[in-house]
Amino acid sequence: MAFKKTLLALTLALAAASSAVVAQAQAPAPAPARTDIQMWMGLTGVNGELLSRFGEDFNRSQNEYRVVVSFRGQYPEQRAAAMAAFRAGNPPHIMQMFDAGSGDMVQSRGAIIPVSEVFQRAGIAFNPADFIPPARGYYGLPDGSLLSMPFNVSTAVLFINQDAFRRAGLDPNRPPRTWPEMITAAQQIRSTNAAACGFTTTWLAWIMLEQFNARHNQQIGTLDNGRAGAGTTLTVNNALNQRMIQTLVDLQPSRAFSYGGRSNDAAAKFISGQCAMLLQSSGGLAAIQRDGRFQLATAQLPHWPDVQGAPFATTIGGASMWVFNAPNRTANELRGVAMFLDFLRSDRVMTEWARTTGFLPATNSSFRAMQQAGFFAQNPGRDVPILSLIEARQGQFTQGYRFGRWTEIRDIYHEEVERALQGRQTAAQALMNFERRGNAQLRAFERSVN
Amino acid sequence: MQRKVIFPNRWLPYALLAPQLVVTLIFFIWPSLQALLMAFQEQDPFGLYVRFVGFDNFTMVLTDPAYYEALWRTLFFASAVTVLAMVPALLLALAADALLRARSAYTTALMIPYAIAPAIAGVLWLFMFNPAIGIVAYWVQALGVDWNPTLDGSDAMLLVILASAWKQVAYNFLFFLAGLQSIPKSLLEAAAIDGAGPWRRFRTIVFPLLSPTTFFLLVVGLVYAFFDTFGVIHAVTGGGPASDTTTLVYKVYTDGMIALDLGGSAAQSVLLMLMVIGLTMVQFRFLERRVHYS
Amino acid sequence: MNHSPSHSLPGQFLAHAVIWIGLAITALPLYIAFVASTLSNPEIAQAPMPMLPGDQIWENYRRVIVEGMEGNFLSPPVWVMLLNSLIMALVIAVGKISVSLISAYAVVFFRFPGRMFCFWLIFITLMLPVEVRILPTYEVVTQLGLLNTYAGLTLPLIASATATLLLRQFFLTLPDELVEAAKMDGAGPLRFFWDVVLPLTRTQLAALFVIMFVYGWNQYLWPLLIVTDQNLDTIVVGIAKQIGTGDATTDWNSVMATTLLALLPPALVVLLMQKWFVKGLVDSEK
């Protein structure tokens, strides 16, 4: 009897409580005087916190619009949510989309409004030349306008453990500049057992495929890396890429190279002191500084000296801000979007963003502002990534790329190279399979958007 | 399965079923039909260009060797997880049932893994087994085993099997214990007085009376192994290395959400659904007749 | 006096031993999480992590509780997220159980056209993974205007095939004599349900409540998708937001501490439900 009474009471109490809560949550809020602007982002932790705060700062600075910044899961989940929302006729105003997803966004004509056009319609001045050249190239069109607005920008660098270098008898102030130097250093580290592994890399496809080919001004795909139009085919099965992958395979047995996973996991090997060198995104600096227990030096990515003109500039990573198109979007809302994006690219916001998060200043003016404020002088090594983007030589293939389904194609690269590292196939076979499977994805994508 | 003695009411059963059916129809059947329709279409991510392509997606899936690799992998994975999750759970439930003291404390402690969200559980296991910083990885390597789930496919598969089974053991334990606790004491006492030993009592009384629960857990466990293990694989290995832990459901996710091949992903879902329905029907047909319902 | 072997000393010893082995394995990840929550982040990063708790326990938990109480721009205060999780968990648990109870009862104790069809229709909901149907479900929820509402968060999750299946299993084991006796007493199906069936089902209901509560408590993907108002975030979403994406740093000690704190309410539910796990039948014997 007691059991039934308890059950009944519990159910009734809950019904009452939940209907009260439901009623409360749905009670009409006082009519907002402001227009809501929804922005979805994929950042968490300190970075997500700061971007959310920028939204609040903007809201406080004016009273026409209210920006709501929300986290909708990591980039793939967030993208799925945006797709669903778009299909339901209600996409967010702004969405932060990671670099590899750009091709998918662009080739679905009608889903987005190019950001240059957004500013133009709102009557707010916007000069794409403000943004650093690699970002402009990556997110822009041949006529110079921008499809999306670069915001959090990173590039790849080389971190070295100076203590391990000393132990190995290497000069800690001379990080390897070329790949032959890298190989020698890694082998020496292993032969003196200065560390359990010579070097490792994070973000395998981004660094070993995209950054690597940019650094040597090598084409990844026809039609200007896909930027000139549809119908591009991948062209990476060449001697240079084969040599790079083969190097990784050959260095494995002695642990001069040790594979650490496809994304960010390998950084832990460097931070814990296991590996003496790390190829990593510039954004990984904060974790190393906080948790590492050794002296750190930063250098640009190494290159093969026999490639003519190398080293060229590296390309960018990170994400940019896209503006969605929707039938019920008003000119007023789009103006609010333009105003908020204008706010985000201001020097004040950009410099605070770059200083705090470890992302790079995306505009030339914010970079100069940081220079003049002495930031780079006080923080040695922080200028290495940005210089590797803007001061290194620019080439035809340092402007990025535009491929549909690039996230999946990156994973195909991961799978094929992992198979080579496992010893199941040669470097040439890996690249051949990569091209074959990657091209199939590109063709399928083109079919789906037509 | 139908009881012999029932109530004769005509409209009452429909009224009782109505709430569940309504919610199921609106929030499951209707969206699922739309999802399944995508299997016969080709479209861009945003639904702006949709084209009917008949069975093309199915043809592409069924002629892809990677699909069959995922299929065998999934069967292996599902069997391993189901067995590994049920046997220890039954042992633990029998032990807990036999306890005279502190049963509540033990049961609570054993249940806790189930209370961890799958996303977080995956992160926890990664934290332990990560070759770089994982403490368990460190011990294993100290024992001389070359533990490297980032590159060794079998290491990775072992890891996701363990992580998936770990959560499910708690679930199975709870229901086994509930089932054991509802077996009348009098039956067991009578058997003991008749001279039956513990193994005999288990075989002739406990296991048969537990069979409805066992059947339930087998059905649910299979579904869990096929579908709900996605979260763990996603957090721990991401389907790698070199697709060595890509099960069928994970492939549905990567083809759908990563490659944005919505048609192919939907086609795979249809096939997966038919597979699981088939397996479940087999279970109902052949296993249920051995289930002892009073 | 019962002299069955399981009540003897060796039997008890064996039972305890098995439990302890099980505990060691199931508790290991949690113990490691606990240790991590008592260390500083560099200690965690410098492998191998120590196996004994560190000295940062008060600092870490204080920071998580006190600063978490204030919330920040990314997440609301911890108590708000805990409350959201609690509401979701309770509404979903009670909703799922109530709906499934009457459905299972209908399918087992009556005979009517479409009976097995209805059962399979309900059961089939287990067969399609949520990742696949999540996009169309989102559209349906949007069209019904349920975004950013508690109703939208809970209603789609209320139809449970698992509970229906379990209860159907159990109802099939009830002896025919019970039904006949009730009919002879002149009791209708609803009286029978309320007076006889329900009390007998208590152990299964207790187990189901625990499972459904935890299910509701741990909702992540669904709230993430349909809620933009961060004041409706659940605690699991809050924890996920602490874990750094990409190359960003993660405060592992804070994440572990919050995770362990978030386990307390479900653990409490398990403990409270123990009362209903009583061996044997309460009123009538079979």
Res C237 pLDDT > 60: yes
Q: What is the H or E stretch that residue A199 is in?
A: strand A197-201
Hey, is the C-beta of B294 within 8 angstroms of any chain C C-beta?
yes
Whether B259 is in a domain gets the answer: yes
B35 within 8 A of C133, measured Cβ to Cβ: yes
Nearest one of B183, A426, B65 to C279, comparing CA atoms: B183
Hey, is the C-beta of C155 within 8 angstroms of any chain A C-beta?
no
The answer to whether the Cβ–Cβ distance between B227 and C129 falls below 8 Å is yes
Dihedral sign computed on CA atoms, order A101, A106, A107, A111: positive
Burial (CB count within 10 angstroms: exposed 0-12, middle 13-18, buried 19+), residue A142: exposed
Q: Nearest by CB to B242, from A419, A441, A449: name it.
A: A419
Q: Nearest by CB to A108, from B45, B150, B255: name it.
A: B45
Residues of C in contact with B252 (CB under 8 A): 129, 131-132
Hey, is the C-beta of C9 within 8 angstroms of any chain B C-beta?
no
Whether B18 is in a domain gets the answer: no
The CATH number of the domain covering residues in A156-314+402-448: 3.40.190.10
Hey, is the C-beta of B162 within 8 angstroms of any chain C C-beta?
no
Q: What are phi and psi of C56, to 5 degrees?
A: -95, 15
Place of tokens 């690269």: A413
The answer to whether the Cβ–Cβ distance between A405 and B260 falls below 8 Å is yes
Whether B282 is in a domain gets the answer: yes
Which other chains touch chain A, taking contact as 3+ CB pairs less than 8 Å apart?
B, C
Q: What is the H or E stretch that residue A22 is in?
A: helix A2-26
Which other chains touch chain C, taking contact as 3+ CB pairs less than 8 Å apart?
A, B
CA distances from A440 to A241, A362, A413, B52 (A): 20, 34, 13, 20
Peptide bond before residue C265 is cis, with ω within 30 degrees of 0? no
Compute the C-alpha angle A244/A247/A249, nearest 5°: 115
CA distance B74 to chain A (A): 18
Structure letter (DSSP) for residue A283? G
What pTM did the predictor assign? 0.87
Q: Nearest by CB to C87, from A21, A53, A74: name it.
A: A21
Domains and CATH numbers, chain C: 73-276 (1.10.3720.10)
* Percent of chain B with pLDDT strictly greater than 90: 26
Hey, is the C-beta of A357 within 8 angstroms of any chain C C-beta?
yes
Confidence (pLDDT) at A267:
92
Confidence (pLDDT) at A32:
56
Confidence (pLDDT) at C276:
67
Whether B113 is in a domain gets the answer: yes
Nearest one of C249, C227, B127, C64 to A48, comparing CA atoms: C249
Distance CA A19, CA A14 (A): 8
User: How many independent structural domains does chain B possess?
Assistant: 1
Model pLDDT for residues C97-151, shown as the tens digit of each residue:
999 999 999 999 888 888 889 988 888 887 777 777 777 888 888 888 888 888 8
pLDDT under 50 in chain A at which residues?
A: 20, 22-28
CA distances from B139 to A42, A319, B135, B143, C196 (A): 35, 39, 6, 6, 55
Confidence (pLDDT) at A441:
93
CA distance A283 to chain B (A): 20
The answer to whether the Cβ–Cβ distance between B24 and C22 falls below 8 Å is no
Residues of C in contact with B114 (CB under 8 A): 211, 214
Whether B14 is in a domain gets the answer: no
C154 within 8 A of C91, measured Cβ to Cβ: yes
CA distance A313 to chain B (A): 29
Distance CA C233, CA A73 (A): 12
Q: What share of chain A is helix, strand, coil (3-state, %, to 5)?
A: 50, 15, 35
Model pLDDT for residues C4-17, shown as the tens digit of each residue:
445 677 878 888 88
Whether B179 is in a domain gets the answer: yes
Confidence (pLDDT) at A10:
60
DSSP B29-94: IHHHHHHHHGGGEEE-TTSSSEEE-TTHHHHHHHT-HHHHHHHHHHHHHHHHHHHHHHHHHHHHHH
Confidence (pLDDT) at C7:
65
Burial (CB count within 10 angstroms: exposed 0-12, middle 13-18, buried 19+), residue A275: buried
Mean per-residue pLDDT over chain B, rounded: 86
Peptide bond before residue A311 is cis, with ω within 30 degrees of 0? yes
Hey, is the C-beta of A52 within 8 angstroms of any chain C C-beta?
yes
Model pLDDT for residues C151-163, shown as the tens digit of each residue:
888 888 887 788 8
Nearest one of B45, B94, B76, B122 to B245, comparing CA atoms: B76
* Percent of chain B with pLDDT strictly greater than 70: 99
Confidence (pLDDT) at C201:
87
Rg (CA), chain A: 24
Q: Nearest by CB to B119, from C136, C240, C278: name it.
A: C240
Confidence (pLDDT) at A376:
92
B216 within 8 A of C169, measured Cβ to Cβ: yes
Confidence (pLDDT) at C176:
87
Strand A197-201 vs strand B50-52: parallel, antiparallel, or unpaired?
A: unpaired
Hey, is the C-beta of B184 within 8 angstroms of any chain C C-beta?
yes
Q: What is the CATH number for B141?
A: 1.10.3720.10
Please give the average per-residue pLDDT across B27-41, as a whole number.
88
Confidence (pLDDT) at A426:
96
Burial (CB count within 10 angstroms: exposed 0-12, middle 13-18, buried 19+), residue B175: buried
The answer to whether the Cβ–Cβ distance between B192 and C4 falls below 8 Å is yes
Model pLDDT for residues C25-42, shown as the tens digit of each residue:
888 888 888 998 999 888
Predicted-assembly ipTM surpassing the 0.90 threshold: no
Whether B37 is in a domain gets the answer: no
Peptide bond before residue B241 is cis, with ω within 30 degrees of 0? yes
The yes-or-no answer to whether A35-154+316-373 and A156-314+402-448 have a common fold is: yes
The answer to whether the Cβ–Cβ distance between A77 and B257 falls below 8 Å is yes
The answer to whether the Cβ–Cβ distance between B45 and A274 falls below 8 Å is no
Domain ranges of chain A: 35-154+316-373, 156-314+402-448
Containing domain of residue B114, as a range?
56-290
Q: What are phi and psi of C113, to 5 degrees?
A: -60, 135
Distance CA A421, CA B148 (A): 13
Strand A197-201 vs strand A275-281: parallel, antiparallel, or unpaired?
A: parallel
Instruction: Please determine, looking at this structure, whether the domain spanning A35-154+316-373 carries the CATH number 3.30.930.10.
Output: no
